[in-house]
Amino acid sequence: MTAIIKKEINAFFASTIGYLVIAVFIILSGLFLWVFKGDYNIFDAGFADLAAFFELAPWIFLFLIPAITMRAFSDEIKMGTLELMLTKPISLKQLVLGKYIAAILLILIALLPSLLYIATISSLGMQTGNWDVGSTIGSYIGLFFLIMAYNAIGLFASTISSNQIVAFITAIFICFLFYFGFEGISEINSSLDFVKYLGMKSHFNSVARGVLDTRDIVYFLSVSVFFISITIFKLKRVS
Measured distance CA(47)–CA(106) in Å, rounded: 31
- What pLDDT shows up at residue 46? 63
DSSP letters, 4-59, are: HHHHHHHHHHHSSHHHHHHHHHHHHHHIIIIIS-STT-HHHHT--SSHHHHHHHHH
Residue 180 has pLDDT above 70, yes or no: yes
Mean pLDDT across the stretch 182-192? 76
Q: What is the pLDDT of residue 147?
A: 96
Give pLDDT, residue 48: 63
Phi/psi for 184 (5° steps) reads -65, -40
pLDDT digits (tens, 9 = 90+) for 103-112: 999 899 888 8
Q: What is the mean pLDDT of residues 19-24?
A: 82
Spatial distance between the Cα atoms of 190 and 192, rounded to a whole number of angstroms: 5
Better-predicted residue by pLDDT, 132 or 151: 151
Is the per-residue pLDDT at 128 higher than 60? no
pLDDT band of 157, cuts 50, 70, 90? very high
The stretch 23-38 carries a mean pLDDT of 82
Q: Which residues contact 133 (CB under 8 A, 6 or more apart)?
A: none
Statement: residue 126 has pLDDT above 60: no
**% of residues, the chain, pLDDT over 70:** 90
CA dist 137 → 29, 51, 140, 204 (Å): 18, 12, 5, 13
Which tens digits make up the pLDDT trace of 195-219? 888 889 989 988 888 778 899 999 9
> Mean pLDDT, the chain, as a whole number?
84
What's the confidence (pLDDT) of residue 1?
76
Q: Name the range with the highest mean pLDDT among 121-125, 150-154, 182-186.
A: 150-154
Asked whether residue 158 carries a pLDDT value surpassing 80, the answer given is yes
- The answer on pLDDT for 170 being more than 90 is yes
Q: Per-residue confidence at 100, pLDDT binned at 50, 70, 90?
A: very high
